[in-house]
Amino acid sequence: MIDTLTNDMVRLCGEIAALREGRAVLRGNLADGRNDLKDAVTQMQSDLRSARADMASETKAKLHDFVSNVQDAVVSLKEGVSAVREQNLGDIAGARRAWCVNILGQKPASRARTVAAAQPKEQAAPQAKEDAAPQPKEDSARAKKKKRWA
């Protein structure tokens, strides 16, 4: 029985030592795998950073070109509209002169009225209000009442 107990103890000691060795090998393999994975993730992050920087600079350049093209198009469009408006202003002024002289037999419209008519409504509105506002007469009945109550 002592031989059996001794043999069992020796066998258990050997198994424990083998398991400890296996655990040490497993821990070493896990550490190596972790280091390999860490290096791979670091490399991937570096690649992503450089790709993002490349895309950002490319996008910035494309955006700059786009904005420049839009600005050029707007300037060109404004010049074209301005030229067409000037052309139409001249046509309208000529038509008014022709209409007033030939059809109605009236004196041609003044240049100021023709220019005011060709201006956008925002610009023409203050001038039209000033021109259209009737000037009160000094000797009107309303003026007399105001003087009386003042």
Higher model confidence: residue 85 or residue 126?
85
- pLDDT: which is higher, 99 or 41: 41
34 located within any domain: yes
Hey, what amino acid is at 54? D
Could you tell me the residue range of the domain that residue 40 belongs to? Answer: 6-117
Inside any domain, residue 32: yes
- Examine residue 112 and state whether it is found in any structural domain, yes or no: yes
**In the block, which residue shows the tokens 């031989």?**
3
How confident is the model at residue 70, as a pLDDT? 96
Q: Is residue 1 part of a domain?
A: no
**pLDDT at site 120:** 56
pLDDT tens-digit map of 17-34: 999 999 999 999 999 999
The pLDDT value recorded for residue 87 is 87
DSSP string, 120-148: -HHHHHHHHHHHHSPPPPTTSHHHHHHHH
pLDDT at 5: 87
Read off the pLDDT of residues 67-124 as tens digits, 9 standing for 90 and up: 999 999 999 999 999 889 988 888 888 888 777 765 555 555 555 555 555 555 555 4
pTM exceeds cut of 0.75: no
CA dihedral 71, 74, 78, 81 (to 10 degrees): 160
Q: How many domains does the chain have?
A: 1
Tell whether 124 is covered by a domain: no
| pLDDT in the model for residue 136 | 47
In a domain, 139, yes or no: no
Q: Does 59 map to a domain?
A: yes
> For residue range 137-147, what is the model confidence (pLDDT) as tens digits?
445 665 665 56
